[in-house]
Structure 1
Amino acid sequence: MKALAFLTERLIARAEAQGDLRGLEGEGKPLPPAEGGAYVDPIESAGFRMMAREGALPPEVVLAKQAAALREELKATEGEAERRALMTRLADIEMRRAMRMEARRRGR
């Protein structure tokens, strides 16, 4: 892993020296908040953003979007049976997302 970090730092330093990192969108602005909460590695978060721009999202992000949509739907739902069904679906999605994030954290 140290070799990868070294190589990454070297490539970034080279790009900086050549001016390849100037004039990029968002230059000088803070990074957007990390998707997935406080426990997402900033490097993974940056990778997720790049993947999203290209239309390829990791399963954790897809599940987070599904959960957010279900929460919004839940706010607008009044019937008890419908709310219970939505909460069951939301719990399932949140559990699958947590399992994927834990597996990623452990390096699997």
Structure 2
Amino acid sequence: MDILALIGEQRLAEAAEKGELSNLAGEGQPLPEDDISPLVPPEQRMAWRILKNAGYLPPELEARREAVQLAMTLADAEGDALSRGLKRLALLNQRLTEVGLPPVSAEGAYGAKLLRRLER
């Protein structure tokens, strides 16, 4: 154990002995679920959490968000706008597939169900 971990452990033990860690909000309740994907390597989780808390998304999740928003707008698009939107959605889906995320589709019964769910 390195020196910083030892100092941290000592201070936690001292605070617990003094009773400074009792009667805190949420005491006795389970910790909130970790919303970082289990597929993220452990050494990258802290960086992802910091970026998430700062309001930034990893590029693959930014592409997913853009694809979902595009799929929602394509439901009402027609003509040239629909054609350009479908090409952009295909490009985004290709990027998502490359990083192992499922593609976004706005076609068929599944697409309609997905759009209704996302609109809530």
TM-score by length of 1: 0.50
Is the radius of gyration larger for structure 1 or structure 2? 2
Greater RCO structure (CA 8 Å; 6+ sep): 1
